[in-house]
């Protein structure tokens, strides 16, 4: 009987103790798995969201987030120029504004309005109706459509504001051409998009061509980085940001809190698992000192009795670890649902995102747990004095 | 007779245990030879060093001084691994409290040392069957220790000790946990083991068990006080 089989029989011998260990590891492992998912979840989710938006480059006036810094002067002209760069597939200028929607259900809610230039790739997906064409048309998100009861072909009256410096303009009536899904919408966001010229008209700012951001889709060949370099050369006074750089900026900004919290909780859960298994194994070994000493007297090597303990630890942690994956998955779904109630979180962003690397790290941490937890009981059996233990067992 | 003809050749061996109150000499200047076929009993009052001497003869402990040769090899110079191998292949141990593994059946307990010694599966099965038959427990092969009586457990322990065909069987109070009638059966079984060619050294308080031996060593204060032969 090899060490693994021997360890299995030792565990089966005391099913309650084994079950306690396995369930303890499963619970701790589930928490550990969730912490690992949380540590990268927002970043992975945000990267997916950016990649799905259809644009891989963002051009802004400064390093500030779009809409939070100064605008790009004559951004529409610059977007046109960028769209003609050979490594660029399409480029659009976007301008952000707020608007009041003249509907009872939306009276106390401010709508986010996007004004877009050109006919390139859109930062939204049409669900019903059609996209913008010429004239005073808008696309609205599902929340706006539900609240206003307006469908494609219907009309909405907006009172837009592009700048605090400009006096409130008169309301303007728009025709809803379609219902669209906006990737960065929160669950309750009221979002509207129109052409940048119509937005300027609604704001009463005249034919302004400034933009908050220029969204760029690069050609597959030569790719994102080459397009970024070309654009930077064309507009050296602007900032060009790839999706990867944007994610890195997120990581270095607010998302580090999640990683730090996750690191602290991971350390605590792993420590708890180590203590739990160490205690269980040590109790088990202490109950069997006489048997272990007898085996050594019968010629079992020190390595063999050490391997027995290591295998026992691995079996407990391995079984508990396997159980922890589905358990952690279910827990992550519930925790994600709770965390997504935080205001202003885009509906498509998740805090817990399945990532194969999290499973790999989870398994590595559990393997380390099995080994570290076994160190003390291994020390006990490896240094067990055979003769005096046998004597003590007889006297005892 | 040369040194290699002896299974054990102990010359002036002592065993001293360091204690907080000062060193305690458990075995003092004992010289002893065990030859194939010997049937030796070691007697003496509690604490006189019987078990310590037995553990030294079984290469579980090494002498603090003196020389102990096992089949010509100086035990003190052997690594822990080499001594483990020596015990596995050359020495059988029978304990007062049996120390059978409770999660294994009688057959699995007997098979375990053979498995550790690397015996092929078929050979292990055959040898286990032979040994359980030898100790009269063929019908109890699949029973766990908790389902066996004290005498049956000790018989399984003897079968386990003989699993790798050792030249020397050491038994520490083998009848200490048994009633008189069962103890008699175990003594008879040990006689049979010895008669079949295995040297036997028994530590016992039981005068009747000691009387069955051809050599009886009486110890006091760590020394062999008398040796009688029959």
Q: For residue A248, tell me if it sits in a domain.
A: no
- Over the stretch A27-50, which tens digit does the pLDDT of each residue have? 989 998 998 888 878 888 888 888
Interface test with A, best of B92, B99, B115 (most A CBs within 10 A): B99
Q: Same domain, yes or no, for A90 and A226? A: yes
By three-state DSSP, how is residue A395 classified? helix
| Backbone region of residue B117 per phi and psi (left: phi > 0; alpha: psi in -120 to 50; beta: other values) | alpha
pLDDT at A240: 92
Cα–Cα distance, A28 to A280 (Å, whole number): 15
Nearest to A15 by CA among A294, A371, A273, A319: A319
pLDDT at A164: 63
Q: For residue A345, tell me if it sits in a domain.
A: yes
Q: Would you tell me which CATH number, out of the four given (3.20.10.10, 2.60.450.10, 3.40.50.300, 3.40.228.10), belongs to the domain B3-229?
A: 3.40.50.300
Chain B residues near residue A381 by CB distance under 8 angstroms: none
Under a CB-based contact definition with an 8 Å cutoff, are residues A31 and A269 in contact?
Answer: yes
- Residue A330, pLDDT > 90, answer yes
Our count of domains for chain A comes to 2
By three-state DSSP, how is residue A325 classified? helix
CA atoms A207, A209, A215, A220: torsion sign: positive
Interface test with B, best of A298, A389, A392 (most B CBs within 10 A): A298
Please give the torsion angle defined by the CA atoms of residues A113, A41, A121 and A221, in that order, rounded to the nearest 10 degrees: 150
Structure tokens at B227: 């040796």
pLDDT at A171: 85
pLDDT at A80: 92
Cα nearest neighbour of A382 on chain B = B80
Cα–Cα distance, B220 to B218 (Å, whole number): 7
Going by pLDDT thresholds of 50, 70 and 90, the confidence category of residue B2 is low
Cα–Cα distance, A381 to A305 (Å, whole number): 7
Nearest to A217 by CA among A384, A88, A50, A45: A88
Q: For residue A243, tell me if it sits in a domain.
A: no
By three-state DSSP, how is residue A120 classified? coil
Going by pLDDT thresholds of 50, 70 and 90, the confidence category of residue A326 is very high
Q: Same domain, yes or no, for A9 and A155? A: no
Backbone angles phi, psi at B128, to 5 degrees: -60, -45
Q: Same domain, yes or no, for A163 and A266? A: no
Cα nearest neighbour of A12 on chain B = B103
Nearest to A258 by CA among A337, A352, A354: A352
Cα–Cα distance, A254 to A43 (Å, whole number): 10
| Residue scoring higher pLDDT (A392 or B156) | B156
Nearest to B176 by CA among B48, B92, B51: B51
Q: Same domain, yes or no, for A271 and A159? A: no
- Residue B1, pLDDT > 60, answer no
In sequence order, what are the residues at sequence separation of 6 or more whose Cβ sits closer than 8 angstroms to the Cβ of residue B196?
none
Going by pLDDT thresholds of 50, 70 and 90, the confidence category of residue A391 is confident
Nearest to B15 by CA among A106, A41, A385: A385
- Residue A100, pLDDT > 90, answer no
Structure tokens at A173: 């009536």
Q: Is B139 exposed, middle or buried (0-12, 13-18, 19+ CB in 10 A)?
A: exposed
* Average per-residue pLDDT for chain A: 86
- Over the stretch B19-65, which tens digit does the pLDDT of each residue have? 888 888 999 999 999 999 999 999 998 888 898 999 999 999 999 99
Q: Same domain, yes or no, for A181 and A310? A: no
- Residue A396, pLDDT > 90, answer no
Cα nearest neighbour of B54 on chain A = A387
Q: Same domain, yes or no, for A75 and A221? A: yes
Chain B residues near residue A297 by CB distance under 8 angstroms: 58, 60, 87, 93, 95
- Residue A108, pLDDT > 80, answer no
Q: Same domain, yes or no, for A34 and A177? A: no
pLDDT at A265: 87
- CA-to-CA separations, B218 to B40, B41, B214, B229, in angstroms, rounded: 11, 8, 13, 12
CA angle A200, A204, A209 (to 5 degrees): 30
Under a CB-based contact definition with an 8 Å cutoff, are residues B158 and B187 in contact?
Answer: no
Cα nearest neighbour of A11 on chain B = B103
pLDDT at B166: 93
Cα nearest neighbour of B86 on chain A = A299
| Complex ipTM value | 0.89
By three-state DSSP, how is residue A57 classified? strand
Contact flag B96-A394 (C-beta cutoff 8 Å) = yes
pLDDT at B14: 94
Q: Same domain, yes or no, for A170 and A280? A: no
DSSP string, chain B: --GGG-SEEEEEEEEEE--TTS-EEEEEEEEEEE-TT-EEEEE-STTSSHHHHHHHHTTSS--SEEEEEETTEEGGGS-HHHHHHHHHHHEEEE-TT----TTS-HHHHHHHHHHHTT--HHHHHHHHHHHHHHTT-GGGTT--GGGS-HHHHHHHHHHHHTTT--SEEEEESTTTTS-HHHHHHHHHHHHHHHHTT-EEEEE-S-HHHHHTSSEEEEEETTEEEEEEE-
Q: For the residues B128-132, what does the mean pLDDT come to? A: 94
Contact flag A387-B60 (C-beta cutoff 8 Å) = yes
Contact flag A387-B55 (C-beta cutoff 8 Å) = yes
Partner-chain residue, chosen from A1, A302, A391, that has the shortest CB–CB distance to B108: A1
Q: Same domain, yes or no, for A377 and A319? A: yes
Shortest alpha-carbon distance between residue A19 and chain B (Å): 17
pLDDT at A66: 73
- Over the stretch A332-369, which tens digit does the pLDDT of each residue have? 999 988 888 887 777 788 888 888 888 899 899 989 98
Q: For residue A246, tell me if it sits in a domain.
A: no
Parse chain B into domains and list their residue ranges: 3-229
Contact flag A391-B60 (C-beta cutoff 8 Å) = no
Mean pLDDT is lowest, of A242-256, B76-90, B165-179, for A242-256
Q: For residue A244, tell me if it sits in a domain.
A: no
Q: For residue A15, tell me if it sits in a domain.
A: yes
- Range picked from A53-57, A201-205, A251-255, B145-149 for highest mean pLDDT: B145-149
Partner-chain residue, chosen from B55, B97, B116, that has the shortest CB–CB distance to A300: B116
pLDDT at B92: 93
* Average per-residue pLDDT for chain B: 91
Cα–Cα distance, A390 to A295 (Å, whole number): 11
Cα–Cα distance, A117 to A40 (Å, whole number): 35
Q: Same domain, yes or no, for A163 and A38? A: no
- Output the pTM of the full model: 0.72
pLDDT at B4: 56
- Indicate the residue among A237, A272, A297 that finishes a domain: A237
Tell me the residues of B at the A interface, defined by beta carbons under 8 Å apart.
51-52, 55, 58, 60-61, 80-81, 84-89, 91-93, 95-97, 99, 101-104, 108, 111-113, 115-117, 160-161, 164, 172-173
Q: For residue A366, tell me if it sits in a domain.
A: yes
Mean pLDDT is lowest, of A250-254, A287-291, B171-175, for A250-254
Q: Same domain, yes or no, for A97 and A137? A: yes
Which residues form the domain of A142?
A: 62-237
């Amino acid at each position: 009987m090899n060490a693994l089989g021997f360890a299995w029989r030792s565990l089966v011998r005391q099913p309650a103790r084994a079950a306690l260990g396995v369930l303890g590891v499963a619970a701790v492992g589930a928490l550990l798995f969730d912490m690992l998912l949380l540590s990268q979840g927002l970043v992975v989710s945000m990267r997916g969201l950016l990649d799905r938006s259809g644009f891989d480059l963002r051009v802004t006036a400064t390093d500030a987030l779009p809409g939070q810094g100064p605008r790009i002067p004559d951004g529409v002209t610059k977007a046109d120029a960028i769209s003609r760069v050979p490594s660029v597939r399409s480029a659009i200028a976007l301008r952000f504004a707020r608007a009041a929607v003249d509907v009872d259900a939306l009276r106390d809610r401010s709508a986010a309005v996007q004004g877009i230039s050109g006919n390139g790739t859109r930062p939204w997906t049409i669900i019903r109706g059609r996209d913008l064409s010429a004239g005073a048309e808008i696309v609205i998100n599902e929340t706006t459509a539900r609240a206003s009861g307006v469908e494609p072909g219907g009309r909405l009256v907006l009172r837009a504001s592009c700048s605090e410096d400009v006096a409130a303009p008169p309301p303007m009536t728009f025709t809803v051409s379609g219902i669209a899904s906006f990737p960065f919408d929160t669950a309750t966001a009221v979002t509207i998009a129109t052409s940048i010229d119509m937005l300027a008209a609604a704001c009463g700012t005249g034919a302004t061509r400034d933009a908050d951001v220029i969204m760029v889709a690069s050609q597959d060949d030569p790719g994102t980085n080459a397009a970024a370099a070309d654009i930077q050369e064309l507009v050296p006074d602007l900032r060009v940001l790839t999706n990867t750089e944007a994610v890195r900026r997120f990581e270095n900004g607010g998302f580090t809190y999640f990683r730090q919290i996750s690191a602290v909780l991971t350390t605590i859960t792993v420590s708890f698992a180590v203590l739990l298994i160490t205690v269980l194994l040590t109790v088990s070994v202490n109950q069997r000192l006489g048997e272990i000493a007898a085996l050594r007297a019968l010629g079992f090597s020190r390595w063999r009795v050490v391997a027995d303990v290591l295998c026992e630890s691995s079996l407990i942690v391995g079984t508990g670890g396997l159980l922890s994956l589905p358990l952690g998955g279910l827990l992550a779904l519930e925790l994600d649902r709770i965390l997504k109630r935080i205001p202003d979180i885009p509906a498509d962003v998740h805090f817990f995102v399945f990532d194969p690397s999290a499973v790999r790290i989870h398994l590595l941490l559990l393997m380390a747990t099995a080994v570290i937890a076994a160190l003390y009981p291994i020390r006990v059996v490896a240094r067990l004095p055979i003769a005096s233990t046998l004597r003590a067992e007889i006297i005892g | 007779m040369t040194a290699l003809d002896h299974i054990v050749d102990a010359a002036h061996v002592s065993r001293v245990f360091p204690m907080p109150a000062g060193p305690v000499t458990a075995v003092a200047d004992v010289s002893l030879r065990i030859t194939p076929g010997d049937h030796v009993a070691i007697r003496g009052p509690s604490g006189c060093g019987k078990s310590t001497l037995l553990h030294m003869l079984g290469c579980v402990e090494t002498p603090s001084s003196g020389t102990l040769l096992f089949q010509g090899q100086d035990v003190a110079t052997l690594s822990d691994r080499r001594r483990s191998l020596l015990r596995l292949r050359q020495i059988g141990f029978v304990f007062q409290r049996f120390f059978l593994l409770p999660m294994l059946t009688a057959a699995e307990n007997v098979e375990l040392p053979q498995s550790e010694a690397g015996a092929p599966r078929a050979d292990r099965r055959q040898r286990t069957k032979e040994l359980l038959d030898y100790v009269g427990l063929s019908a109890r092969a699949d029973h766990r220790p908790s389902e066996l009586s004290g005498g049956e457990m000790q018989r399984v322990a003897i079968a386990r000790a003989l699993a790798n065909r050792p030249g020397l069987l050491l038994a520490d109070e083998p009848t200490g946990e048994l009633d008189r009638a069962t103890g008699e059966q175990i003594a008879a079984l040990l006689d049979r083991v010895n008669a079949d060619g295995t040297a036997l050294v028994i530590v016992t308080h039981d005068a009747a068990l000691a009387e069955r031996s051809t050599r009886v060593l009486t110890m006091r204060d760590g020394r062999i006080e008398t040796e009688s032969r029959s």
